[in-house]
């Protein structure tokens, strides 16, 4: 195995699944944005089994870019000039011979697998057999496995062709500016460290809510569900950023080491600590089984058994057809040890917190109580609100594609972290209660309220300002 050194840049990008939904909606528009910024300097080869010619593929790419937003003709022309196309079956060796020819003299290509997970091993092994893996790296879209055993098999298949340093497991959620800001905010501000532990933190809540349903992706979603599609990757990654220890150095591996330790410290989740739900009407969606028990909502209680976080409950929740589109974190701090003022104790218990709003309109808020005007010692909660969104930021896929091609693995997940995350879910993936029904536009099944009742109930994100 001859992996690409971390500092070397890719000299070509190959996108498997180049005519698929992910390429159409995310990858091709991101490549256009990279071209516009001057960050794309290599040929791009699309590979798919769609019966297209290279000319028709370029037309498809142009339509994808135009649909995503305004385009500049000169930039689009430069992008289209970079595009090449290979049409063929991923199970046919001739497809990879044609790919080798299309790559020309490229010595260190990056292979992006924007394809169904069932083809990951097939394509990786075919790249090795065709002699295309030498000096290359492979970028794999989530989900990386569907449980611990399948993740181990997929890792074994990937490692038979590529070393770990050349495998980039992509989770687009990690490419968002607001996610990166969690890490920066934690370790760039000294006032947090004294309170960022079990002595001062009462609980942590993380929610990713979507107001829409499966949107025509029923056949795919019915085989995955919220626990695998969102909790195991997106929300677990946020837990790692919040719970990790300070890295021992500035290197990528130092940071990834600390994140992996968080996954390894996750206590295996019990069935009684998980509530699954399914929105009314889900079984009528195209591609969904009539008797489906797949969850479109999941809430769970998690523990990270480290010295810093022992005894602190982490509450994770995600679902479709909920009241708002939002991703938010709330770190509740413990109340003062004595009640000195006339405020109700229940108000004091939720007075101090840090709130990270990841989407929409990323922001950070710090909450505290301040005295109201008058003689009475009664206060009200106020937030110090730090808005962090800026126009013109890189999209998640633009950032991740650029980092992978540059050999920067900071935003990508390592094998040991993937397997440790699946290990925490091993029991509940096999054994769990039925998916409870809930109405669209609500915050999920009422059974989920019992999970967090002892800690004051769920934090429900509010609609973004200006949203209806």
Is 159 tagged catalytic?
no
Q: Is a pLDDT exceeding 90 seen at residue 138?
A: yes
pLDDT at 305: 98
DSSP three-state, residue 287: coil
466 inside domain = no
125 inside domain = yes
pLDDT at 94: 97
5 inside domain = no
Report residue 271's pLDDT band, with 50, 70 and 90 as the boundaries.
very high
94 inside domain = yes
pLDDT at 391: 55
Same domain, 280 and 313: yes
Q: Is a pLDDT exceeding 70 seen at residue 145?
A: yes
Alpha-carbon span 123 to 363, nearest angstrom: 40
How many C-beta neighbours within 10 Å does residue 298 have?
Answer: 27
pLDDT at 216: 85
pTM assigned to the model: 0.90
Same domain, 61 and 184: no
pLDDT at 432: 95
Q: Is a pLDDT exceeding 50 seen at residue 468?
A: no
Same domain, 195 and 341: yes
For 405-415, what is each residue's pLDDT tens digit?
999 888 888 99
Same domain, 206 and 350: yes
Asked which of 170, 187, 213 is the last residue of a domain, the reply is 170
**Mean pLDDT, rounded, for 352-372:** 90
For position 53, which CATH number holds? Answer: 3.40.50.720
Q: Is a pLDDT exceeding 50 seen at residue 121?
A: yes
* Strand 297-303, strand 274-279: pairing: antiparallel
Domain extent, residue 193, equals 174-455
Q: Which residue has the higher pLDDT, 171 or 17?
A: 17
Q: Nearest 5°: phi and psi at 98?
A: -65, -35
Report residue 390's pLDDT band, with 50, 70 and 90 as the boundaries.
low
Report residue 4's pLDDT band, with 50, 70 and 90 as the boundaries.
very low
pLDDT at 2: 40
pLDDT at 393: 67
**Mean pLDDT, rounded, for 53-58:** 97
Asked which of 170, 200, 233 is the last residue of a domain, the reply is 170
260 inside domain = yes
**Radius of gyration of the chain measured on its C-alpha atoms:** 24
Same domain, 107 and 193: no
**Mean pLDDT, rounded, for 46-69:** 96
**Mean pLDDT, rounded, for 80-101:** 97
Q: Is a pLDDT exceeding 80 seen at residue 378?
A: no
Contacts of 236 (CB under 8 A, 6+ apart): 263, 266, 316, 421, 424
Same domain, 93 and 217: no
Q: Is a pLDDT exceeding 50 seen at residue 334?
A: yes
189 inside domain = yes
Report residue 392's pLDDT band, with 50, 70 and 90 as the boundaries.
low
85 inside domain = yes
On whether the CB atoms of residues 362 and 177 are closer than 8 A, the answer is: yes
pLDDT at 467: 40
Report residue 208's pLDDT band, with 50, 70 and 90 as the boundaries.
very high
Same domain, 220 and 90: no
For 316-332, what is each residue's pLDDT tens digit?
999 999 999 999 999 99
Q: Which residue has the higher pLDDT, 450 or 385?
A: 450
* Angle between helical axes of 252-265 and 415-424 (0-180°, round to 10): 20
Low-confidence winner among 158-167, 262-271, 387-396 (lowest mean pLDDT): 387-396
Report residue 1's pLDDT band, with 50, 70 and 90 as the boundaries.
very low
Report residue 116's pLDDT band, with 50, 70 and 90 as the boundaries.
confident
Report residue 379's pLDDT band, with 50, 70 and 90 as the boundaries.
confident
On whether the CB atoms of residues 100 and 62 are closer than 8 A, the answer is: no
Same domain, 341 and 401: yes
Q: Is a pLDDT exceeding 80 seen at residue 287?
A: yes
Asked which of 149, 170, 191 is the last residue of a domain, the reply is 170
pLDDT at 466: 44
461 inside domain = no
Same domain, 213 and 274: yes
Q: Which residue has the higher pLDDT, 88 or 383?
A: 88
Alpha-carbon span 412 to 415, nearest angstrom: 10
For 147-194, what is each residue's pLDDT tens digit?
999 999 999 999 999 999 999 998 877 777 888 889 999 999 999 999
Same domain, 226 and 159: no
Same domain, 81 and 117: yes
For position 274, which CATH number holds? Answer: 3.30.360.10
CA neighbor of 292 nearest in space, from 220, 207, 234: 220
Same domain, 161 and 200: no
* Catalytic residue (choose from 234, 303, 332, 432): 234
DSSP output for 173-227 = GGGSHHHHHHHHHHHH-TTTGGGSSTTTEEEEEEEEE-SS--TT-HHHHTTT-HI
* Angle between helical axes of 415-424 and 236-243 (0-180°, round to 10): 110
Q: Indicate the number of domains in the chain.
A: 2
CA neighbor of 389 nearest in space, from 188, 207, 181: 181
């Amino acid at each position: 195995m001859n992996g690409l050194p971390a500092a070397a840049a890719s000299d070509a990008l190959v996108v498997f699944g180049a005519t698929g939904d992910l390429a159409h909606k995310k990858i091709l528009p991101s490549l256009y944005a990279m071209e516009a910024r001057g960050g794309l300097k290599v040929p791009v080869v699309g590979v798919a089994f769609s019966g297209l010619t290279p000319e028709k593929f370029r037309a498809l790419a142009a339509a994808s870019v135009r649909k995503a937003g305004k385009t500049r003709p000169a930039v689009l022309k430069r992008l289209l000039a970079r595009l090449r196309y290979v049409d063929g079956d991923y199970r046919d060796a001739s497809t990879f011979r044609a790919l080798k020819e299309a790559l020309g003299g490229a010595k260190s290509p990056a292979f992006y697998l924007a394809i169904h997970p069932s083809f990951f091993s097939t394509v990786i092994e075919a790249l090795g057999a065709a002699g295309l893996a030498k000096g290359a790296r492979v970028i794999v879209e989530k989900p990386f496995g569907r449980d611990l055993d399948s993740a181990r098999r997929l890792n074994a298949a990937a490692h038979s062709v590529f070393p770990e340093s050349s495998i980039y497991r992509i989770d687009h959620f990690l490419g968002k500016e607001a996610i990166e800001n969690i890490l920066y905010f934690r370790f760039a501000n000294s006032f947090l460290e004294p309170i960022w532990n079990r002595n001062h933190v009462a609980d942590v809540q993380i929610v990713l809510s979507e107001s829409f349903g499966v949107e025509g992706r029923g056949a795919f979603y019915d085989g995955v569900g919220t626990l695998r599609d969102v909790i195991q990757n997106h929300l677990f990654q946020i837990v790692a950023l919040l719970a990790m220890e300070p890295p021992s150095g500035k290197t990528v591996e130092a940071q990834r080491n600390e994140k992996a330790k968080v996954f390894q410290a996750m206590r295996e989740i019990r069935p009684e600590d998980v509530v699954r739900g399914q929105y009314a009407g889900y079984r009528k969606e195209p591609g969904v089984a009539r008797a489906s028990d797949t969850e479109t909502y999941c809430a769970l209680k998690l523990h990270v058994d480290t010295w810093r976080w022992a005894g602190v409950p982490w509450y994770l929740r995600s679902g479709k057809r909920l009241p708002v589109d939002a991703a938010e974190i709330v770190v509740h701090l413990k109340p003062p040890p004595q009640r000195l003022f006339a405020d109700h104790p229940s108000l004091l218990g939720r007075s101090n917190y840090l709130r990270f709003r990841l989407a929409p309109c990323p922001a950070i808020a710090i909450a505290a109580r301040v005295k109201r005007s008058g003689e009475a010692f009664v206060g009200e909660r106020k937030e110090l609100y730090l808005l962090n969104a800026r126009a013109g930021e890189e999209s998640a896929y633009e950032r991740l594609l650029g980092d992978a091609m540059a050999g920067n693995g900071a935003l990508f997940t390592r094998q040991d972290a993937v397997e440790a995350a699946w290990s925490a879910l091993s029991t509940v993936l096999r054994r769990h209660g039925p998916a409870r029904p809930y109405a669209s536009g609500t915050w999920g099944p009422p059974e989920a309220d019992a999970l967090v009742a002892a800690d004051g109930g769920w934090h429900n994100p509010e609609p973004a300002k200006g949203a209806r």
